[in-house]
Structure 1
Amino acid sequence: MAMTQTQRLSIFAALALGMAATRLHHFNTLPDASWGVFFLAGFWLRGTARWAFPLLMATAVLVDYIVITNMGISFWSHYCVSAGYWFLIPAYGALWLGGSWLAKHQSGLHLSTLAMAVAALLVSENLCYVISNGSFYWLSHSVPTPRSFGAWFENMGDWYLPFLQTTALYVGLGAVLHVLVAQIARVLPHHGSVQH
């Protein structure tokens, strides 16, 4: 389904707002949607990576900056900000590429597309997790030394399922929305052509 530039901008704005709202932690019951947003953006905004990906990254960093400085802490001295923080670019890039790959190879609303979506999400999510968790563990001053692969694997295990589940939840919601919009789009043209 081809989209107009207005539709692409609307999707981008909705994704950016959703990420910002959950990343700010205004609503403690809503977990951070960033990972799901980057995967869905790769799918829905395929071909716009030159402008959409950098703007989503800038939104994520800006929200982090606002949250951290509003706590009265210098951005650069916060627990989560280290040399590893900048590895969020390739980590989120992996999610974008997973969604983009799915958009290129999917064949519509079929079971084969669902299987490809699950595979693309799992691969890109795991790659994102290894990059983001590994860069934080190995490069952050917040992690006590000495460091070891055993301790890193234990740390990865502590956070793995929550990140996987949260991302799958948001991508699942996006998939439901996608199916609903696709079904509505199929029905609407037929109603407009009915003879009175």
Structure 2
Amino acid sequence: MATSTTRRLAILLGLALVMGVTRFHPSLLHHALWDASWGVFFLAGFWLRGQGRWAFPLLLAEAVLVDYLVISGQGIDFWSHYCVSPAYWFLAPSYGALWLGGSWLAKRQSGLNLRTLGLAVAALLVAEGACYLISNGSFYWISASVPAPRSFGAWFGNLGDWYLPFLTGTALYVGLGAVVHALATQLSRLSQRGAHAKH
């Protein structure tokens, strides 16, 4: 998606705002809002394809900063929190998988049609699945928060317990992003037609 620098920054700020709001209020996540982080990284890969050198690290830094503020705001030492362990740093390749999925889709999409929809579903399922395997697997096998003994059977059970909620939340935000994308595309076409009609 070719965009100007101003548009790219606006997209990045919009995605950062959505991620910040939904990630910053953990009490809301289970009652009203899912954490949009996974959807944000997929959409960022799609909308900001080719800008990964600066946009991806900025979004990743925001995610870590929000986690730090939420955890320390509860009076808990960041490094001693249940979710923070050596596995925490596997969020980078986890989110990277989502970014790559969005970028892959951006390169192959052909406008608003059924082919693009099919590619979007496939890209999201593969990218979200890879993200989930990396994040869940690293936490299960590396984090001290998971008591020993560990086994593949228990891990597969854990994977099954959490997969659908994560997929549902991610698909919801990507779906909302797709609606925004479709509306923006149609508005752009209408404005171009209007400009041509004036000439």
Shorter-chain TM-score range: over 0.9
Provide the residue aligned with 1:114 in structure 2: 117
| Residue-by-residue CA offset, 1:70-99 (whole Å, 9 max, x unaligned) | 000000000000010000000000000000
User: Which residue of 179, 185, 189 corresponds with 1:186?
Assistant: 189
Provide the residue aligned with 2:22 in structure 1: 22
CA shift for structure 1 position 110: 1.1
Provide the residue aligned with 2:48 in structure 1: 45
Q: Distance in 2 between matches of 1:52 and 1:92?
A: 12
CA shift for structure 1 position 26: 6.2
AA in 1 matched with 2:8: R
Q: SS at the partner of 1:47?
A: coil
Q: Distance in 2 between matches of 1:183 and 1:56?
A: 28
CA shift for structure 1 position 190: 1.7
Structure 2 length as normaliser, TM-score? 0.96
Q: SS at the partner of 2:89?
A: helix
CA shift for structure 1 position 25: 1.6
Q: How does 1:24-173 map to 2 (within 5 A)?
A: 24-25=24-25, 28=28, 29-173=32-176
CA RMSD of aligned residues (A): 1.2
Instruction: Show structure 2 runs of 5+ residues with no match.
Output: none
Q: Distance in 2 between matches of 1:75 and 1:27?
A: 18
Contact 1:83 1:140 in 2 (8 A): yes
Q: Distance in 2 between matches of 1:176 and 1:42?
A: 16
AA in 1 matched with 2:182: V
Q: SS at the partner of 2:197?
A: coil
CA shift for structure 1 position 2: 2.1
Q: SS at the partner of 1:138?
A: helix
Provide the residue aligned with 2:179 in structure 1: 176
Give % identity.
69
Moved over 6 A (4+): none
Between 18-27 and 76-85, report the one with greater CA deviation: 18-27
CA shift for structure 1 position 46: 0.2
Structure 1 length as normaliser, TM-score? 0.97
Instruction: Show structure 1 runs of 5+ residues with no match.
Output: none
Between 32-41 and 185-194, report the one with greater CA deviation: 185-194
Q: SS at the partner of 1:151?
A: helix
When the two structures are aligned, how many residues end up with a matched partner? Answer: 196
